[in-house]
Amino acid sequence: MNALPPCPKCHSEFVYEDGTVYICPECAHEWPVSEAAAGSAEPAAKVYRDSAGNVLQDGDTVTVIKDLKLKGSGGVIKMGTKVKNIRLVDSDHDIDCKVDGFGAMSLKSEFVRKA
């Protein structure tokens, strides 16, 4: 069975199709079938930006813009440290990378600038 989309106005599930439009019997809202199909398309890919608003991509080199204290150890990543070959991930910390002298870690994109 092909499920019809809920009404975009009142979110009623009692929608029916009449030719090229969907109709909601509860609020009398009508919208074209083609518009409902376009709304179900995949969402756009997330765009990652650095502190200056530049778009980041996998493999970029970035520079740390402030001293970052490391949790769990007493180390500090100093301002100006270059990090090569970043990998973007969809999590709390946007960047997975290896920092020379510290090993693998995750950074937030708001604390780096594209080099």
**What tens digit of pLDDT does each residue of 21-80 get?**
999 999 888 888 876 555 554 556 789 999 999 999 999 999 999 999 998 878 899 999
Structural domain of residue 108, as residue ranges? 61-114
Query: Phi, psi (5° rounding) for residue 37?
Result: -70, -35
Q: Is residue 93 part of a domain?
A: yes
Q: Are residues 35 and 65 in the same domain?
A: no
List alpha helices for 27-108, DSSP H: 33-39
Query: Phi, psi (5° rounding) for residue 17?
Result: -100, 135
pTM value > 0.85: no
pLDDT of residue 41: 47
- Overall number of domains in the chain: 2
